[in-house]
Amino acid sequence: MKCCKGETVNCCGRRIESKRFWRWFCVLAIGLPLLVLLVLLSTLLIKAAVVEELYVRQELFPGQPAVFMDLSEAEWRSQAERLAEAISVQTVSYEAGDLNTTALDIINQRLNVSFSVGPA
């Protein structure tokens, strides 16, 4: 029952040449995962090469330059409090057919009142 130096092994009533067995074992144990990894990597590279751009940048107000807010801490805190007030409206629907559209209208109205959106 020794399994080294090319001797035969009796396993489950079958004779296995140890060199051949270990050669195939190494091929399957090492080669198969490498083959799978190579296939996955090549699939990723092919998909990356042929993919079209999925992200399309959209501007809220085309033709107008972006305005970055430079707020003091008091202004920042004021806006945070107004946002907290606006999003405190419960908008959760517990059933698929029961959509709470009035709550969504209220939150939309509060956001529009609290924050001026769009060009003046």
Could you tell me the pTM of the whole model? 0.35
d(CA 84, CA 88): 6
- Partner residues linked to 15 by β-bridges: 10
Q: Please choose, from the candidates 33, 35, 34, 9, the residue with its C-alpha nearest in 3D space to the C-alpha of residue 20.
A: 9
| Percent of the chain topping pLDDT 90 | 12
What is the band of 36 on the pLDDT scale with cuts at 50, 70, 90?
Answer: very high
Phi (first) and psi of residue 17, to 5 degrees = -75, 125
